[in-house]
A and B are shown apart, each in its own frame.
Chain A
Amino acid sequence: MTKRIIVDPITRIEGHLRIEVEVDDNNVIKDAWSSITLWRGIETILKGRDPRDAGLIVQRFCGVCTYVHYEASILACEDAFGIKPPPNARIARNLISASLYLTDHVMHFYHLHGLDWVDVVSALSASPKKTVEMAKGYSKNPYNCSETHYKAVQERLTKFVKSGRLGPFANAYWGNPSYKLPPEANLIILSHYLDALAISKVGAQMMAILGGKNPHPQSLVVGGITSGMDLFDAERLGQYLFRFKEMKNFVETAYLPDVLLAATYYKDEGLKGVGGGVKNYLSYGGFPLDDDWNKLLFPRGIVKDRNLAKPMKLDETKITEEATHSWYKGKEPQHPFNGTTDPEYTGYDSNGNVKGNEKYTWCKAPRYDNKPYEVGPLARMVVGYAQGDKAIKPLIDSTLKTTGLPASVLFSTLGRTAARALETKLVADNTEGWVNELIANIKKGDTRTWTRCDVPKKPAQGRGMTEPPRGALGHWIKIENEVISNYQAVVPSTWNCSPRDKAGLRGPYEESLIGTKLAKVDQPLEIIRTIHSFDPCMACAVHIIDPKTNEIKKFKVA
């Protein structure tokens, strides 16, 4: 007999997400459905508006991946207008993106994902002395590492626990056997959880220096960037660099070592391929190193069926979206240029479960060449690795060598989390170079920040495709009579959270859960760990109910 488990809301994500799974008598997941429970209709709102306003509007898709939709929309307009921004603007946009990567990935690992790996209560029994020794095994100079500090963290936590008011730490899955870290490791990562709260402000300030504020910066325009006064001010760039170095130090002495530490204790899961998911990976390419987007920090391309020996080129025309299982009209796959977004809500069944054979989510099903693809840090690293990228391949190879793990470990929940940390390092290693590139360009006398342009009088269309932290992002715009006539965004979480398609192929979240064994069905820790590893961008929580009675509390471990 199978049991149905519903996790809604999945917390520690942006937005509203529900996961339903069916487990067999051994608590192994046999089937899964992912459902986005909120529709806001922003694509409909864009029609008839000035294309230059679209960037600021679509930025409101998301305040966690703030900036990225703003940039993708501006890129789509620039493509439609037939112009390119000047080099200063391109570099400045890279610098803003870099600030987002550093902030977002750090915040994801500690605040959104960390508690899936770290047992807060176990950290209380750690020996501060041993904790220092352990931390030094993973970094020469670990971040904020001393016996007194670790003791202080423990005291702060003890106070929380004693008061009985754990706040955000309340009622989680502490003590679940799927937590594998020893107390000392829990304490190290937990202490960095607290440090990261402060450090993420520094990263946000980096963005604000060139973007005006964070979240929701406001300095991009079609054709360039408006913050010239900041870009051409040595003092302002100094403020940026100063904060960058603080972030980079945190990445190198806390984030990376902590991921390696977690990998040591969770490697068996990685080797078993827990959370692997669909076997296809896609990247649009991001961080342009020249004005034509020929040279990129994150390469463009696809890897199919995990065939690392045969990386393939990306063919944009093969990207489609369909709505067989989504709460929209129309079933046939459409290229985003011709995409439609007309809601058709059919709700849940009489038991309150998703209608898995019908429509069950506000998320469409993006496909590449009719197949589901995973996007995000793992996809970027896999594509770069397969292409033999000069920066990515050595970084991954050396990490595998240090940990003594094979490349196949990448295709797992752990691999996804590790890939995110590795690419953060890659961005951190390149940011200072971009500041220098900017200075060199200004020295040449180039003070252009904007390419003159206007909305095309004739019908036009364009696309903006880039790689923000959560994965491949594409915006497609059509312009008629100087206003937007159609607008479609296919965002990273749409790829990953995709429902089944008409051929019945599951999306990446769904597929990644199949075969996972739950230690305790009333504490679906393994589900949220894998879902969080994708860094979902909708807000969520996990609920377990019995399919017959629809009552949560009656559900018992078989």
Chain B
Amino acid sequence: MAKGNNSEYKKMIDQQYKDLMKHCELHMEQIEKDLPEPREDLHEILKDRGFSRRDFIKWTSAMTAALMLPPIFRPLVAKAAENFGRIPVVWLHFAECTGCSEAFLRSSYPNVDTILLETISLEYHETLMAASGYQAEQNLQKAIHDFAGKFICVIEGGLPRGLNGKYLTLGPKGKTGIEVGKEVASKAAAVVCIGACAVNGNIQAAKPNPTDATGVGRALGISTVNIAGCPPNAVNFTGTLLHYIMFGTLPPLDSLGRPVWSYGKRIHDYCERRSHYDASEFVEEWGDKSALKGWCLYKMGCKGPYTYGNCSKVRFNDGVSWPIMAGHGCIGCTEPAFWDTMAPLEKPLDEKTYGGGEKTVDTIGAVLTGAAVAGVAVHAVASAVRHHQSDFFKTAPTSHKDDRTEE
């Protein structure tokens, strides 16, 4: 990085951003040329729902910052939002519970996200579409043919590999989930995994993993963008898609394929109960006086210190609440194999998980990173190490060292 002459440095950065903006403008022009008009006019719907122009500008500002872009990109984010409906999306369901679809239908932060999702050009979505059976299959074939190389394949659900994949069969011809996944993913511009099941198998991959289930990336041998969580926040998906519309590339990912802009920080670092942790004020059992005062849930098994995500910042259901606010610890649902590595869920992790041996509450961060730093400072270190790794890995192929059940 350039140091010393500040104005030189500033010029260089300015030029970089100018180039990036140019790239972004060209890419969006291309999109507008290549892809059909959005079915729905975003601004009309916004008006319909009582959102002013000002609300929209506020939202685009927040989204620009969330995507780690400087304010000059705001108009481009706005344009990308207007073009959101141009990107054809094929949404597949594999081994899952539809909770992610539900979360996307119902929750939002900020509110414009939800409306953005309404403009999405869903070419295939089993839970929502009117067509069934043969006609549904036809829709799928048409979408992947008409928009080959241009559509985003969103996958909700993991893939069972046992029985040659036959724990999950789909469609009139009884194709396995893996066959359908391969067919659709091979024609997609990008594959986005929504939720812990698609990311690394989630619950069905928990020990002893009876169906040999795993995430889509691993099962199909492809790189995927992983929107982790059970379920994840809708904002993490919309932001990632906006980035794609703007730059034609996916945002920087961490070593687990998660977008850094939304999974780069620890739950613990932005937790509203953090001050109680620092003051050693803990809930000792459910429903005790400290619980009603909102003290730290670490001793009740909260896995916030081990978990990367933005739940503590964006919360759920329009910011109404999130698990720690509701007095229950985090269960680490954005992390790989969390049902095994984070169990028992109501107790702090002991030595069996990370091998370091948790001695006192104060060294918890150290257990995670292996850095022997005591006290509060350790959290800063944990986050810093993490960021460093993220940057390092962002260009590397996604090494899915996720399925701990397999190790």
Taking Cβ atoms with an 8 Å cutoff, the residues of A that contact B are: 6-16, 37-42, 44-45, 49-50, 52-53, 56-57, 60-64, 66, 103, 111-112, 115, 120, 152, 156, 159-160, 163, 165, 167-173, 197-198, 200-201, 204-205, 207-219, 221, 223-224, 226-230, 232, 239, 343, 345, 347-348, 352, 447-450, 452, 522, 524, 528, 539-545, 552
B21 interface contact, C-beta 8 A = no
What 5 new A-B contacts, CB under 8 Å, besides A11-B132, A168-B125, A201-B105? A42-B203, A53-B339, A61-B97, A229-B325, A543-B137
Answer whether A9 and B206 are a contact pair too, CB < 8 Å, given A216-B231, A226-B291: no
CA distance A169 to B174 in the complex (A): 24
Contact between B130 and A449, CB atoms less than 8 A apart? no
Q: Chain B residues near A156 (CB, 8 Å)?
A: 40
CA distance A223 to B163 in the complex (A): 40
Q: Chain A residues near B326 (CB, 8 Å)?
A: 210-213, 217-219, 226-227, 230
Contact between A450 and B123, CB atoms less than 8 A apart? no
Contact between B345 and A37, CB atoms less than 8 A apart? no
Give the residues from 310 to 357 in chain B that come closer than 8 angstroms, CB to CB, to chain A. 315-318, 320-328, 331, 339, 343-346
Q: How far is the CB of A100 from chain B (nearest CB, A)?
A: 11
Pick from B122, B133, B170, B172 the residue with the most CB of A within 10 Å: B133
Q: Chain B residues near A207 (CB, 8 Å)?
A: 317
- Nearest opposing residue in chain B for A89, CB measure: B287
- Nearest opposing residue in chain A for B293, CB measure: A229
Q: Chain A residues near B97 (CB, 8 Å)?
A: 14, 60-64, 66
CA distance A61 to B97 in the complex (A): 6
CA distance A522 to B131 in the complex (A): 12
Contact between B167 and A39, CB atoms less than 8 A apart? yes
B39 interface contact, C-beta 8 A = yes
Q: How far is the CB of A61 from chain B (nearest CB, A)?
A: 6
Q: What are 7 A-B residue pairs whose CB atoms fall within 8 Å in the complex? A: A8-B170, A63-B101, A163-B37, A163-B39, A227-B327, A450-B286, A544-B133
Question: Which listed residue, B98, B133, B286, B343, touches A226 by the CB 8 Å rule?
Answer: B286
CA distance A449 to B326 in the complex (A): 13
Q: How far is the CB of A17 from chain B (nearest CB, A)?
A: 10
CA distance A53 to B328 in the complex (A): 13
B240 interface contact, C-beta 8 A = no
Contact between A204 and B317, CB atoms less than 8 A apart? yes
CA distance A53 to B286 in the complex (A): 15
Answer whether A219 and B327 are a contact pair too, CB < 8 Å, given A167-B123, A172-B131: yes
Q: Chain A residues near B103 (CB, 8 Å)?
A: 63, 214-215
Please count the residue pairs between chain A and chain B whose beta carbons lie under 8 angstroms apart in the complex: 322
Answer whether A53 and B346 are a contact pair too, CB < 8 Å, given A38-B95, A60-B230, A450-B285: yes
Q: What 1/0 mask marks residues of chain B from 17 to 40 whose CB sits below 8 Å from any chain A CB?
A: 000000000000000000011011
Pick from A60, A217, A232 the residue with the most CB of B within 10 Å: A60
Q: Which of the segments B51-59, B208-216, B217-225, B360-368 contacts the partner chain?
A: B208-216
Q: Chain A residues near B127 (CB, 8 Å)?
A: 11-14, 112, 539
CA distance A528 to B131 in the complex (A): 10
Contact between A200 and B105, CB atoms less than 8 A apart? yes
Contact between A552 and B172, CB atoms less than 8 A apart? yes
Contact between A449 and B287, CB atoms less than 8 A apart? yes
CA distance A200 to B111 in the complex (A): 14
CA distance A11 to B123 in the complex (A): 14
- Nearest opposing residue in chain B for A13, CB measure: B127
Answer whether A60 and B99 are a contact pair too, CB < 8 Å, given A37-B168, A115-B130, A200-B106: yes
Contact between B39 and A160, CB atoms less than 8 A apart? yes
Q: Chain A residues near B36 (CB, 8 Å)?
A: 163, 165
Q: Chain B residues near A218 (CB, 8 Å)?
A: 323, 326, 328, 331
Answer whether A62 and B163 are a contact pair too, CB < 8 Å, given A172-B135, A226-B328, A450-B287: no
Q: How far is the CB of A541 from chain B (nearest CB, A)?
A: 4
Q: Chain B residues near A540 (CB, 8 Å)?
A: 126, 132
Q: Chain A residues near B169 (CB, 8 Å)?
A: 16, 37-38
Question: Which listed residue, A63, A103, A111, A209, touches B231 by the CB 8 Å rule?
Answer: A63
CA distance A295 to B316 in the complex (A): 34
- Nearest opposing residue in chain A for B89, CB measure: A167
Contact between B98 and A63, CB atoms less than 8 A apart? yes
Chain A binding surface, main DSSP class: loop
Q: Chain B residues near A229 (CB, 8 Å)?
A: 291-292, 294, 325, 327
B166 interface contact, C-beta 8 A = yes
- Nearest opposing residue in chain B for A152, CB measure: B48
Contact between B126 and A40, CB atoms less than 8 A apart? no
B171 interface contact, C-beta 8 A = yes
- Nearest opposing residue in chain B for A58, CB measure: B203
B186 interface contact, C-beta 8 A = no
Contact between B327 and A226, CB atoms less than 8 A apart? yes
Answer whether A208 and B316 are a contact pair too, CB < 8 Å, given A11-B132, A45-B208, A165-B36: yes
CA distance A197 to B106 in the complex (A): 8
Contact between B133 and A50, CB atoms less than 8 A apart? no
Q: Chain A residues near B134 (CB, 8 Å)?
A: 522, 541-545, 552
Pick from A200, A224, A449 the residue with the most CB of B within 10 Å: A449
CA distance A352 to B171 in the complex (A): 11
Question: Which listed residue, B122, B137, B171, B294, touches A168 by the CB 8 Å rule?
Answer: B122
B207 interface contact, C-beta 8 A = yes
- Nearest opposing residue in chain B for A232, CB measure: B292
Contact between B323 and A213, CB atoms less than 8 A apart? yes
Contact between B318 and A201, CB atoms less than 8 A apart? yes
CA distance A230 to B326 in the complex (A): 7
CA distance A522 to B172 in the complex (A): 14
Pick from B93, B99, B346 the residue with the most CB of A within 10 Å: B99
CA distance A211 to B292 in the complex (A): 15
CA distance A61 to B325 in the complex (A): 24
Q: How far is the CB of B233 from chain A (nearest CB, A)?
A: 9
B173 interface contact, C-beta 8 A = yes
B139 interface contact, C-beta 8 A = yes
Q: How far is the CB of B309 from chain A (nearest CB, A)?
A: 12
CA distance A171 to B136 in the complex (A): 7
Question: Which listed residue, B160, B231, B321, touches A230 by the CB 8 Å rule?
Answer: B321
B83 interface contact, C-beta 8 A = no
Contact between B98 and A539, CB atoms less than 8 A apart? yes
Answer whether A12 and B129 are a contact pair too, CB < 8 Å, given A197-B118, A201-B318, A218-B326: yes
Contact between B136 and A9, CB atoms less than 8 A apart? yes
Q: Chain B residues near A152 (CB, 8 Å)?
A: 48
B49 interface contact, C-beta 8 A = yes
Q: How far is the CB of B209 from chain A (nearest CB, A)?
A: 8
Answer whether A214 and B316 are a contact pair too, CB < 8 Å, given A60-B203, A228-B292: yes
Q: How far is the CB of B151 from chain A (nearest CB, A)?
A: 13
- Nearest opposing residue in chain A for B203, CB measure: A60
Answer whether A542 and B133 are a contact pair too, CB < 8 Å, given A201-B114, A216-B231: yes
